[in-house]
Amino acid sequence: MNELAGIFKDTRKHLMNGVSHMIPFVVTGGILMAEPITLYKLMVLSMLEQSKAPLTNTLLSDFFLGKEYTTYFTLQEALHELNEAQFIRQEASHNNVQYTITPAGEESLHFFENKINSEIQSDIRQYIEDHNLQIAAAAAAIADYYITPEKKYAVHCQLREKGIPQLDLTLNVRNKEQAEAICANWRRQTDDIYMLLIDHLLK
């Protein structure tokens, strides 16, 4: 009983530091256990930390649903709560969202990472290794569009390396269809476009 009281005391202390208000607990058979939604949040934080690059909503959904850990809607709830608590940072485009872990998220993960069992940790490591190229490509090629004050469409394209823009373009186009086509093609042909520009500009 004293040990349980000590755990509650330590947890309350951590809560007061603003790190882990996302962590609800239930007591089952005298054992302090994290609720399922908390485990999913910790898994997301672990994936973001291990990837060393932003992860898209698509990739996170692929992992959680592919492994049948939870449903799409529960995952979205976990992501929303993590973002609201500022444990992750999100960057939205017209067809996807990328997430990165914040310092507060890293601190919370390190405090509670023992709640993730070894089998889940192994699944996370394997997924990150298997999708390393896909993760890097998604983080490097960023494209989105918006409507200008003149009611035209502008497409913003970036090529990033370790989060730092190497190429930054904004193109004005006639309509939404052209904007969407450029966004899609940018992600598929970023390297070719970049090398073509460099080649022509250095001539």
73 shares its domain with 106 = yes
Last residue of a domain, one of 103, 130, 157: 130
Residue span of the structural domain in which 60 resides: 35-130
In a domain, 182, yes or no: yes
**What is the structure's pLDDT at 15?**
35
In a domain, 4, yes or no: no
In a domain, 111, yes or no: yes
Beta bridge mates, 155: 145, 171
91 shares its domain with 60 = yes
For the segment 123-144, the average pLDDT, to the nearest whole number, is 84
**What is the structure's pLDDT at 34?**
47
The string of pLDDT tens digits covering residues 85-123 is: 999 999 877 667 889 999 999 999 998 888 899 999 999
**What is the structure's pLDDT at 65?**
94
158 shares its domain with 180 = yes
115 shares its domain with 42 = yes
Last residue of a domain, one of 75, 105, 130: 130
- For residue 42, the domain's CATH number is 1.10.10.10
User: What is the Cβ-side half-sphere exposure of residue 20, based on CA atoms within 13 angstroms?
Assistant: 22
Instruction: Look at 12 and 181; give whichever has higher pLDDT.
Output: 181
Instruction: Look at 155 and 20; give whichever has higher pLDDT.
Output: 155
In a domain, 84, yes or no: yes
- Say how many domains are in the chain: 2
In a domain, 23, yes or no: no
In a domain, 21, yes or no: no
State the average pLDDT for the chain.
79
